[in-house]
A and B are shown apart, each in its own frame.
Chain A
Amino acid sequence: MRHISIEPPAFFHRGPAPITRLAFFGLISIALLFVDTRYHYLEGIRRVVAVALYPLQRAAQLPGELLGDIAVYFASLRSLTEENTTLKRQLVERASAAQGFAAAQQENARLRTLIDLGSRYPAGATAVEVLYSSRDPFAQRLYVGKGVDAELHPGEAVIDADGVVGQVTRVFPSMAEVTLVTDKDQAVPVKVQRSGVRSVLYGSGAGRAPELRFMAPSADIQAGDVLVTSGLDGTYPPGLAVAKVATVDRETGQMFARITCTPLAGVDRSEHLLVLAKSTATPPRPEEPAESDAAKRPGKGRRKGAGTP
């Protein structure tokens, strides 16, 4: 001690020894870790503590916002004009596609009514801004600036201008957590746009390409194929672009082809995202298949991201 103590030295009443305390708190931590991994009982507590932490979180965002404001203030006229031109060009380019899409959607809706099927398109969408990416180096997540206040719900699909980014996994009062398609625990049911082959795209964690697993070497997939959501899980609406096949490795002697993909959306670049509200007309889930059926489809249905969360 290098300072003058204002209290008498506490020689006697120091409570249990540090090692005892470490053992006690360590055991509680391990119990908490177990409960949090296996069951999801603690989300309520998490939400309450998150509200208490909110002022600190806002304070942490102030410097960034300030810097952003300053950057906007000093943005040159030239760069703004350039950006404006690019945006206008993109708008025109996409307008024709959008008009074609609107017509196709109407036609589709009419046809679906004819054959008595419900609508599969999302009920609405909310534009959100990315606040920051997750500080957890083991997960691929980001946080967006709207939450319960904008009626976001866990399980809603999140897209950007180029494709699927991920899905909402936790919702806080004015913030929501989005788990990216590149996260290790994410799985997106997809189909190949060219051939219609269905598969599931599994994330592989930070810095690694997502993969299509359990595809036979003879499957009709080529490098460069675009994967779109198949809509089979009821989480992602059908037809959204997800990824492009990067490499297909059909090594003889392996049971499955090794297929790596590149996400089309700017999963770690996009700043503005769109959260798609869930379609209310999702058909009821069928009864759980018998065990023999489940055994035929290895890996499916065991992942957190694939089914309804």
Chain B
Amino acid sequence: MALPNIGGLASAGPDEILRPVRPWFIVATFAVAFVGNLLPLSGVALALKPDFVALLLLYWCIQEPRYVGVGIAWWIGLLMDVGDGTLFGQHALAYAFLAYAAEYFRRRVLRFPPWQQAAQVAVLLGLTSALVLLVRFVGGAPVPRWTYAVPPAVGALLWPVLTAAIQSWQRPQPSKSAL
């Protein structure tokens, strides 16, 4: 089952050929995801906010493993550690793990339609936040509230939307000189 094709915003079918992605496009999407993560939210919105950077990282690690891998993920994690004011290495470790898991599972994940991919993404994002939890427990952090489990689920729900949005950029434009 694919998303309903509204205004060309849909993920690519298995028979469709997309334009190759350019490195600057990956960088631009990460800048947008960073802004999303740094949004000054409080209360319910903060409890719901998924980790956009982790989600995007997972996307590029699955779709473009030649450009984005464990190393890039680690550096992005360090940036996120500064942005969030968390312990140095916390996000870096989590993102490196996420990139590795994505590399390991990518051939499997890509075989499924977006909504079924989302379920597997939920597991990967959940494992990543469990890793963060473990790291913070060792550092003596208190048990977080149950809302800690919400952002990975929201992130997984956003996966089909993210896939559709990015792939609609990569879809070849109909050439005007064709007729």
A residues at B contact (CB < 8 Å): 2-6, 10, 18-19, 21-22, 25-26, 28-33, 35-37, 42, 45-46, 49-50, 53, 56-57, 59-61, 63-64, 131-139, 141, 143, 170, 177, 184, 204-208, 268
Contacts and interface: CB of A to CB of B under 8 A. Distances in A.
A74 B5 CA distance: 37
Nearest to B87: A36
B20 A25 contact: no
Given A4-B20, A22-B96, A29-B74, 14 more contacts: A3-B19, A18-B99, A29-B93, A33-B87, A33-B88, A49-B79, A53-B83, A133-B42, A133-B46, A135-B84, A136-B84, A143-B85, A177-B85, A204-B142
A2 B18 contact: yes
A11 to B, nearest CB: 11
Most buried by B among A4, A141, A268: A4
A268 B11 CA distance: 41
Interface in B143-168: 143-145, 147-148
A59 B46 CA distance: 18
Interface of B: 12, 14, 16-21, 31, 34-42, 46, 49, 66, 69-71, 74, 77-79, 82-90, 92-93, 96-97, 99-100, 103-104, 135-136, 139-145, 147-148, 170
B44 to A, nearest CB: 12
Given A19-B100, A132-B42, A207-B145, A36 B89 contact: yes
Contacts of A31: 89
A251 to B, nearest CB: 23
Nearest to A33: B89
A28 B84 CA distance: 19
Given A18-B70, A18-B104, A206-B144, A46 B90 contact: no
Contact of A3 (B18, B82, B142): B18
B86 A136 contact: yes
Contacts of B17: 2-4
B144 A26 contact: no
29 contacts: A2-B14, A2-B16, A3-B17, A18-B99, A18-B104, A25-B71, A29-B74, A29-B89, A29-B92, A31-B89, A32-B88, A32-B92, A33-B87, A36-B87, A45-B88, A49-B78, A53-B83, A64-B39, A64-B40, A133-B42, A136-B84, A136-B86, A137-B145, A138-B142, A138-B144, A143-B85, A177-B85, A205-B141, A206-B145
